[in-house]
């Protein structure tokens, strides 16, 4: 698979504060990556370094095959970090023309991209008259002008109203479906969970995990169960070899698996043992639960 970005032992210090600490990961073509971490965990700093606006303290990174200079590589990248930055006194279309000049691409795609983000009818309005949601969508249009190899988004829904958030998320899903590689930095876990196939988890500048979302915690999921005699069922399950933990709360039993088992097999098995279930759901831990488990484990 083609590598888009390689980061090796990257470190950034702001005085005494270590914002990014010995970070290494790679980004492969075609995947959608989430860069997860609470506020101040070094996400934006990491992106700033690979995007040529923050100087690294040590370590290195390389774009694509490692032979192109960073600023040449950035012409094949589309990126938005933090707030959308444009010339306030220029119209959307003129701003995009300027971006085309900088990236060295033809201006022919401006209409297509503005239509994609739903701003074509406002193309002549000055950037300063745009709402935050529109500014953010314009930034996405601008990042897509060169049909980038990778789209980098840093907190794209930050500060938006629910409608704006929804629009941006739909847009990201749409772009992801076209096969564009995406790196999405966010502290909103459901956002990452909805679109990303891979995650890199950061806390205080240190990488806690990188890999596929569904492998983040080796877990086989859990069952939520209800029956007439909950007490009897929990005692029974506690002695079962496939169940590692049982929690009974609010009339529901949660049984955590330590080996794979599907719901139908489990239901049939319990029925034979004389338990008739009124409620059976098999679930996996949400990314949020996994993330909290991961960050908590590390801090202990």
Partner 1 sequence: MLRLLEIEFIKLWNSRVSKFLIIAYFFLLTSIALIAAIKFDIGPIKFHLAKEGIFNFPYIWHFNTFVAAFFKLFLAIVIVSMMANEYSNKTIKQNLIDGLSKREFVLSKFLTVVGFSAISTVFIFVVSLILGLIYSDFNEISIILSDLEFLFAFFIKLIGFFSFCLFLGMLVKRSAFALGFLILWQFIEGMIYLVLRWKFDENFASNVLTFLPLNAMSNLIKEPFTRLGAVKSVAQQIGEDISYDFGVQWYEILIVLVWTALFVYWSYLILKKRDL
Residues at the site binding partner 1, with contacts judged by CB under 8 A = 14, 48, 51-55, 69-75, 77, 79, 81, 83, 85-90, 94, 97-99, 101-104, 142
- Residue 274, classified by CB atoms within 10 Å of its CB into exposed (0-12), middle (13-18) or buried (19+), is exposed
Q: Please, what is the minimum distance in Å from the beta carbon of residue 128 to partner 1?
A: 10
Of the pair 85, 265, the CB lying nearest partner 1 is at 85
Kindly write down the DSSP assignment for every residue of 115-137, as one continuous string.
HHTT-GGGTTSBGGGS-HHHHHH
Q: Please, what is the minimum distance in Å from the beta carbon of residue 70 to partner 1?
A: 8
Of the pair 77, 213, the CB lying nearest partner 1 is at 77
Beta bridge partner(s), residue 201: 36, 209
Q: Please, what is the minimum distance in Å from the beta carbon of residue 17 to partner 1?
A: 12
State in Å, rounded, how far the first CA of the chain is from the last one. Answer: 37
Q: Please, what is the minimum distance in Å from the beta carbon of residue 258 to partner 1?
A: 47
And the tokens for 212?
Answer: 């596929």
Distance CA 143, CA 136 (A): 11
The stretches of the chain forming alpha helices (DSSP H) are 43-50, 70-74, 92-103, 110-116, 132-144, 162-177, 189-195, 230-238, 263-272, 287-299
Of the pair 55, 250, the CB lying nearest partner 1 is at 55
Of the pair 75, 187, the CB lying nearest partner 1 is at 75
Q: Please, what is the minimum distance in Å from the beta carbon of residue 238 to partner 1?
A: 55
Q: Please, what is the minimum distance in Å from the beta carbon of residue 28 to partner 1?
A: 22
Q: Does the CA dihedral 233-238-241-245 come out positive or negative?
A: positive
């Amino acid at each position: 698979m083609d590598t888009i970005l390689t980061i090796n032992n990257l470190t950034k210090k702001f005085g005494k504060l270590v914002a990014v600490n010995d970070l290494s990961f790679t980004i492969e073509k075609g995947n959608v990556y989430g860069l997860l971490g609470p506020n101040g965990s070094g996400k934006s700093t990491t992106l700033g370094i690979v995007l040529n606006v923050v100087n690294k303290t040590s370590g290195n990174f390389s774009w694509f095959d490692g032979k192109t200079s960073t600023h040449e590589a950035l012409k094949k990248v589309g990126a938005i970090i933090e707030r959308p930055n444009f010339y306030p006194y220029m119209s959307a279309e003129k701003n995009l023309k300027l971006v085309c000049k900088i990236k060295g691409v033809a201006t022919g795609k401006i209409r297509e991209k503005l239509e994609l983000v739903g701003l074509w009818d406002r193309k002549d309005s000055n950037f300063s008259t745009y709402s935050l949601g529109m500014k953010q969508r314009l930034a996405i249009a601008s990042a897509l002008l060169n049909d980038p190899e990778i789209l980098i988004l840093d907190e794209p829904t930050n500060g938006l109203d629910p409608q704006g958030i929804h629009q941006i998320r739909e847009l990201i899903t749409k772009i992801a479906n076209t096969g564009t590689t995406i790196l999405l930095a966010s502290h909103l876990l459901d956002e990452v969970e909805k679109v990303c196939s891979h995650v890199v988890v950061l806390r205080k500048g240190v990488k806690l995990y990188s890999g596929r979302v569904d492998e983040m915690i080796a877990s086989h999921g859990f069952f939520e169960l209800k029956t007439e005699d909950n007490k009897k069922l929990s005692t029974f399950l506690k002695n079962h070899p496939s169940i590692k933990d049982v929690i009974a709360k609010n009339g529901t039993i949660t049984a955590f698996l330590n080996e794979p088992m599907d719901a139908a097999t489990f239901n049939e098995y319990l029925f034979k043992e004389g338990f008739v279930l009124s409620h059976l759901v098999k679930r996996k831990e949400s990314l949020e639960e996994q993330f909290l488990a991961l960050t908590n484990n590390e801090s202990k």
